[in-house]
Chains A and B, each alone.
Chain A
Amino acid sequence: MATMQMQRPGLWEVSSRVIVYAAIGAALYGVLGLFSFVLPGTQNVSVRPAFAIVTFFGYSFGPVVGLFTGLVGNAVIDQLTGYGLLTAWNWSIANGLAGLIAGVLGAGALATAGGSKIVGSAVVAAVAVVVGFLFVITDIWVFGNSLETAVTASYVPVVIADVIAGVILTPILVAAWEPLRESLGR
């Protein structure tokens, strides 16, 4: 008798589904990333609500999708705003790393921290931002900043802004996606 085995795709598999979700994520980040607002009481902390797209796509669709969404999405924003996709290449990598970490953690025990995906996704988003954006310290070599400037003018502002966006909006997106995912049979 002929049998068919249904296998769940691996975490690092790059299928057509992964590519399309990654491209959708990057394009969404590119379109929505053009909108931001400055955090009241600060000069250079600009909150980009669209950043939650990176952590959401990583958490829900895996590390490859998260990496691509952050890396290419940020490069697309730079390309659309006219600075060129290589001008802030280390910041694109930092965005990609945040998405990658969200994807890896989203497949582990932390994904359901506190007994629910809502809390878990918020925790994953926060950890992904704090760890992933450590890469912007490379501003020391790329732009010649001191360690103090790289931390106070680059790392801390971006972490504050993206943790706020990620922790609030990622769970909302996960809550909207979960019932839809089940109805689609994904």
Chain B
Amino acid sequence: MIVTPRYLARGSWLARRDPRVPLIVGVCAAATVIQVWDARIVLGLLAVALLYYRTAAIPWRAVRRQWFFALAFVSLLVLINTFLTGGEIGGLDPRTFRPLFRIPILGTMIYAETVSYGATQLLRFVTFVAVGFPIAYAIAPADLGVALARLGLPDRFAVGIDLTFRFLPSLAADFQETIDAQRIRGYEWERGGRNPVARLRQATPLIVPLTMRAIVGAEDTIDAMDLRAFGTGRRTWLRELRFDPIDRLVVGLAVGILVVVTVVGFAGYARLWVFPFLLGPTG
């Protein structure tokens, strides 16, 4: 069993950037998209996000399952939000909504505003995913700890994250070994049937030995860290990170877009935009 982050963007333009760049862009994108409900602005942000995504050169075949799942998941949420709950929209008075049609069995009234809201919600999520995927695929796993430390995360926590990624392959190997050992003793995961309690109890012969073995084995790492006087002084990192002019430009653009959208939002131009073609039937 191989459980490590897939560095699919290796060698791409984005992967050659400082590992802090995808993290900063991700945070800026989250803060930007969250403020906008005007689909025209979201479409602009989506275009920029897809351009950014292209620079990671992530092979489509390797991630299409994730894209389909993400789209299916958010579509389900949008459908629940729009059709089952009547598409309540915070900050807007439902009495001003323009009705389109009523769902026959549920009896829920669908408005031009709720359809526009749902479509914008979907666009916002796709924008967010387009910026989020490169964080998974364009940062070398070994660079994540130092990148977070250089972004201001306390050293101890950055080391903790670094250690987490280093423990993954060995724990995955231990997990596979535990499964094999239990199978030799006649263990079958599927034996629990449909009963959730039985299925959870069925997981016990895997989770308990793996967890106890990991905790007992951690003593060696703790001793090694203590013997090297971990935490007694300021920590340095073997990998040095430096922004080059292109990194600064990308980060500057992300921060610039965030600032512009924030100003636009405060000026009241980022509110929900109702698609004009939906207003036709309602007059």
A residues apposed to B, CB below 8 Å: 14-17, 19-24, 26-28, 30-32, 34-35, 37, 39-40, 44, 47, 49-50, 52-53, 56, 68, 72-73, 76, 78-87, 89, 140-149, 152-153, 164-165, 168-169, 172-173, 176-177, 180, 184
Residues of A within 8 A of B171 (CB): 24, 27-28, 31
Contact between B27 and A86, CB atoms less than 8 A apart: yes
B278 within 8 A of A: no
Q: List 29 A-B contacts (CB under 8 A).
A: A16-B222, A16-B225, A16-B226, A20-B222, A22-B160, A23-B160, A28-B210, A28-B211, A30-B3, A32-B206, A40-B196, A50-B207, A53-B207, A76-B165, A80-B4, A80-B168, A82-B137, A83-B136, A87-B129, A144-B120, A144-B124, A145-B81, A149-B84, A169-B200, A169-B203, A169-B204, A173-B211, A176-B211, A177-B215
Residues of A within 8 A of B74 (CB): 143
State the CA gap A172–B206 with chains docked (Å). 12
Contact between B168 and A76, CB atoms less than 8 A apart: yes
State the CA gap A169–B66 with chains docked (Å). 29
B residues apposed to A, CB below 8 Å: 3-6, 23, 26-27, 30, 34, 37, 63, 66, 70, 74, 76-77, 80-81, 84-85, 87-90, 117, 120-121, 124-125, 128-129, 131-137, 156-157, 159-161, 163-165, 167-168, 171-172, 175, 194-197, 199-201, 203-204, 206-208, 210-212, 214-216, 218-219, 221-222, 225-226, 230-231
Q: Which 3 A-B pairs have the closest CB atoms?
A: A84-B132, A23-B163, A87-B132
Contact between B121 and A26, CB atoms less than 8 A apart: no
Interface centre among A35, A37, A47, A52 (most CB of B within 10 A): A37
Total A-B residue contacts, Cβ distance less than 8 Å: 193
Additional 9 contacts, C-beta under 8 A, given A17-B222, A73-B164, A85-B135: A14-B156, A16-B222, A19-B163, A22-B160, A26-B164, A53-B211, A80-B4, A84-B134, A87-B135
Closest residue of A by beta carbon distance from B26: A86
Known: A72-B160, A176-B212. A148 touches B125 (CB 8 A): no
Contact between A27 and B168, CB atoms less than 8 A apart: yes
Contact between A86 and B23, CB atoms less than 8 A apart: yes
Closest residue of B by beta carbon distance from A160: B196
Contact between B133 and A82, CB atoms less than 8 A apart: yes
Contact between A72 and B77, CB atoms less than 8 A apart: no
Residues of A within 8 A of B160 (CB): 19, 22-23, 26, 68, 72
Residues of B within 8 A of A152 (CB): 80
Interface centre among B37, B76, B136 (most CB of A within 10 A): B136
State the CA gap A172–B202 with chains docked (Å). 12
Residues of B within 8 A of A22 (CB): 160
Contact between B70 and A165, CB atoms less than 8 A apart: no
Residues of A within 8 A of B196 (CB): 37, 39-40, 47, 164
Partner of A20, one of B26, B163, B200: B163
Interface centre among B137, B201, B207, B230 (most CB of A within 10 A): B207
Closest residue of A by beta carbon distance from B117: A144
Partner of B81, one of A17, A89, A149: A149
Contact between B203 and A49, CB atoms less than 8 A apart: yes
State the CA gap A144–B121 with chains docked (Å). 7
Closest residue of A by beta carbon distance from B223: A16
What is the minimal beta-carbon distance from A59 to any residue of chain B, in angstroms? 13
Residues of B within 8 A of A73 (CB): 164
What is the minimal beta-carbon distance from A83 to any residue of chain B, in angstroms? 6
Contact between A72 and B161, CB atoms less than 8 A apart: yes
